[in-house]
A and B are shown apart, each in its own frame.
Chain A
Amino acid sequence: MAAQNKITHGQLSCLVFSYLSGFSTLFLSEAALLKQDVWMSYLIGMTLAIGMLWLLCYVQWKHPLLTMVEISDKLFGHWVSRLVLMIYLIYMLEMQAAACRALSTFYTTVVIPNMPSNQMILLIILCTTYATYLGLTTIVRAVQITLPFFLVGILIICFFLLRDVETNPFLPQFQHSFSEVMYGSLLSLYFPFGKLVVFGFLLARVKNMKKIFSSSIFGLILAALYLLVSAYLTLGTIGIHLAGTATFPFFSSIQMVKFGEYLERIEITIIGIWTIFTLFEIVVLQYVFTILLRHVFRIKNMKPFILPIGLLFFISAQKSFLRLSDLTFYNLNIAPFSTMLPIAIIPIMLSIMTLLRKEKT
């Protein structure tokens, strides 16, 4: 791989954070489900994601000169590897469809009710297609440019919301059963922490191989902190019951901010954050999809395929989750189980195969 196509571990952290943050604070499904015990599900979900990440990093460290797709070929063989990669391709289609739909639903519900969702999704996909075309180094540069502004925006929002939190919303603790907490953890593993599995295919692009785990963890922990703080502030400002019933609880809590009888309506900040971070999330998914597709079909010249991939993403998003209730049902009932294969089972298999091969040699 040419040195100029590599990214630094700092850039990896930034990308991981913006990818995982995405629209993670849009629905806060776990907070709606577990209420004050949501922190446990985040903690467990994050821990499981760290474990998954470690497995992927372990596999990458054992094959420093290969990319993850080549490692998969080596460990699983030609055809099984293709099957495995197809699973990831479908996983990415699923994730991006959910992301596009979530963002467009938010806009059509709250911001611009009269705009057709299809047009919105198409515009999103055209933007992400252009970004994919420009390449990974451009993407991470753009993330680095925009991240400080959004971090400041997040801090401002947190500052304003914190003033309205009077009691600790995470008390009283342990009000939910073990199975409920486990289910919440599964939800948080599926979304957002488990999405990190996609970065397994980008680890080979990092210059300093030794720091891939620590830098990814840093991004993951920051994203988890952001999610936790959002849940805390949401539950603290609008209360447990409204947080459980509101469609966009964090947004509802931000809408209530009023400072000095004049400064209000700071929700435009979070709208911008969600939009840009979700775009970055879809860009990463589309980019990794491109890498995988190239490998699965052994395509030589990938450039002409970028637009059709974008169109594929468009039709996938357009035909899926036609109603918000479909998306909610899918997120709560189907996705936590459907994503186990790419998030947990395949990384475990990869690491076991690596270990077995290592013992053999």
Chain B
Amino acid sequence: MVLHSDLIHASNEMNLNKLRQIFSDNESLVIRSLMNKNGSLLASFVYLNILVDEKYLNQHLVRKLNEDLYIKTGPANELALNTLNSLGTVIELKHIEAVVSLITDAGIAVMVEGSCVAYGILMPGYETRAIEEPKIEINVRGPKESFTEDLQQNLSMVHRKLKTPDLKSISYVIGQQSQTKVMLLYLENRIDPTLLAEIRNKIESIQLDVLIVNAQIEELIQDNIFTPFPQIFSTERPDRIATALGRGKAAIITDGTPIALIAPTSFFEMLHPSEDLYERFYFANFLRVLRLICLFISLFGPALYISLTTFHLEMIPTPLMMAFISSKAGIPFPTFIEAILMETAFEILREASLRLPRAVGQSVSIVGALIIGEAAVQSGIVSRPMVIVVAMTGIASFAIPSFSTAIALRMLRFPFILIAASYGVFGLSLSMFILIMHLCSLQTFGVPFLEPVSFNSIRDTLMKYILLPVKYRENVMQVKAGRADAPQRKKGGFLHRNDEDEYR
């Protein structure tokens, strides 16, 4: 449907006919008119009853407007404007398109007979979800509120944490059909202006028909779409957003999505939950090291086990080697097939537990895991060490705070298993090399993806990665224009590549 930017006519009848045409076959459109003593039309107001708070509308707006227009003397549009001003923020509308936009956004448009200007006021009456505890990023000590689907509520949560006029929010409307509101938040005194300009350009260049979730924005603004690793961090926690804004990053909040995006981000940020900032720095650093170990186990655990037991048994200490060999006795499949079977079963179980109703999900998944593990071992299909390895790998992947990163690691495990089964430790070394090279080549908005590893100063690297006590923390964590360090790349596909200067 194409909206014409027709001006509002002085005759209400003509305006209303246009609106009826635009909203044809839409039963929720309500048009109410106020008449004077003579029976001539004074004013009309138009709204969608499924979006607007009709009770408030009837009790306050209709009654007051009726009283003011009927009883008081003066120009009708001025009286209407005064009435509406007493109830909320009034928007002046000069085009039919603006009226339609307001109506679809839970607003009420008031058109006064004889006036070429309509007045709008937002009066949302739909139900929104209450602020709840975060479900994915759970903390012990930190705040226990998470974003909801309502944009205003989310914005207010962030504003309550950053009570400064430097907190800026730029509004965008994305989606021809969905007209979804998107807000870009940043701290003016912290963010790098070139970074901000780049983010703004990317958001402004988004062309979408329907924007439902901000995952669509994420995919459209990230630099490399073919990498398995997410390059923009998503969080459901307002405190995480506030911390990121304080570090000179920008946040994107979308109406209808309870997840906000943080850009730019780095690989190590995906491994650090907000809990790190709320605990003593000793434990936080210990947990950071532990998470790195979990990352390694999650990615290379089964592959390392396969390569050692298939090709390099002599590298395993003798008692352990004897235990592996004895447990493998009678198992009909090679280690690689065992690993593939168990990993696939684990992935299926994990996916199924997401879809099961909450009441039965947890118990079914636990029983399923026990049955699969125990039954598979007792029937001689897989060996016990393999069940342990797969279980450890699964638990290690749950220790990765970022869900998107954990999925990427789960996905990458399978090719590594194949490579380890074919080429052993050699293949694994090459895979590690390729992975490191790939991660080093990624960047988000000009900031290298492995950004905390500062390539100019080892001291900076250590100071950024190792969490310091709070009083030393502030200045080091700033996202600097380490952008000069990063090569400029054209946005493109998997093999997007350099300019002419690279091989000079």
Whether chain A touches chain B in the assembled complex (some CB pair under 8 Å): yes
- How many angstroms between the C-alpha atoms of A136 and B458 in the bound complex? 19
Q: By the criterion CB–CB under 8 Å, are A127 and B433 in contact? A: yes
Which of B429, B455, B484, B503 is close to A291, meaning CB atoms less than 8 Å apart?
Answer: B503
B425, B484, B486, B495: most-surrounded residue (chain A CB, <10 A) = B425
Query: If A290-B503, A303-B497 touch, does A4 touch B453 (CB 8 Å cutoff)?
Result: no
- Is B37 among interface residues, defined by CB-CB distance under 8 A? no
- How many angstroms between the C-alpha atoms of A159 and B503 in the bound complex? 41
Q: By the criterion CB–CB under 8 Å, are A112 and B440 in contact? A: no
B314, B432, B456, B501: most-surrounded residue (chain A CB, <10 A) = B501
Q: By the criterion CB–CB under 8 Å, are B426 and A130 in contact? A: no
- Is B498 among interface residues, defined by CB-CB distance under 8 A? yes
Determine the chain B residues whose CB is within 8 A of the CB of A123 once the complex forms.
423, 426-427, 430
**Which B residue sits closest to A207, measured CB to CB?**
B456
Query: If A145-B436, A145-B440, A265-B314 touch, does A115 touch B423 (CB 8 Å cutoff)?
Result: yes
Determine the chain A residues whose CB is within 8 A of the CB of B208 once the complex forms.
none
- How many angstroms between the C-alpha atoms of A97 and B486 in the bound complex? 32
Q: By the criterion CB–CB under 8 Å, are A294 and B425 in contact? A: no
Chief secondary structure at chain A's binding surface = helix
Query: If A3-B484, A4-B486, A134-B437 touch, does A141 touch B425 (CB 8 Å cutoff)?
Result: no
CB-CB contacts of A80-121 with B at 8 A, as 1s and 0s?
000000000000000000000000000100011001000110
Which of A119, A141, A262, A272 is close to B450, meaning CB atoms less than 8 Å apart?
Answer: A141
- How many angstroms between the C-alpha atoms of A268 and B432 in the bound complex? 15
**Interface residue tally for chain B (C-beta within 8 Å):** 42
Which of A1, A3, A8, A262 is close to B456, meaning CB atoms less than 8 Å apart?
Answer: A8
- How many angstroms between the C-alpha atoms of A222 and B151 in the bound complex? 57
Which of B317, B486, B503 is close to A302, meaning CB atoms less than 8 Å apart?
Answer: B503
Chief secondary structure at chain B's binding surface = helix
Q: By the criterion CB–CB under 8 Å, are B311 and A291 in contact? A: no
Q: By the criterion CB–CB under 8 Å, are B315 and A1 in contact? A: no
Which of A3, A130, A139 is close to B434, meaning CB atoms less than 8 Å apart?
Answer: A130
Q: By the criterion CB–CB under 8 Å, are B315 and A272 in contact? A: no
Pull 29 A–B residue pairs with CB atoms less than 8 Å apart, ordered by A. Answer: A2-B499, A2-B501, A4-B487, A5-B498, A10-B456, A11-B455, A67-B504, A111-B425, A120-B426, A124-B430, A127-B433, A130-B434, A131-B437, A134-B437, A138-B437, A141-B450, A142-B437, A144-B453, A144-B455, A145-B440, A264-B317, A265-B316, A267-B315, A271-B425, A272-B429, A275-B433, A276-B433, A294-B504, A302-B502
Name A's B-contacting residues (CB within 8 A): 1-5, 8, 10-11, 67, 107, 111-112, 115, 119-120, 123-124, 127, 130-131, 133-142, 144-146, 262-265, 267-268, 271-272, 275-276, 279, 287, 290-291, 294, 300-303
8 additional contacts (CB under 8 A) given A112-B311, A136-B502: A3-B484, A115-B424, A120-B423, A127-B434, A131-B437, A141-B453, A142-B433, A275-B433
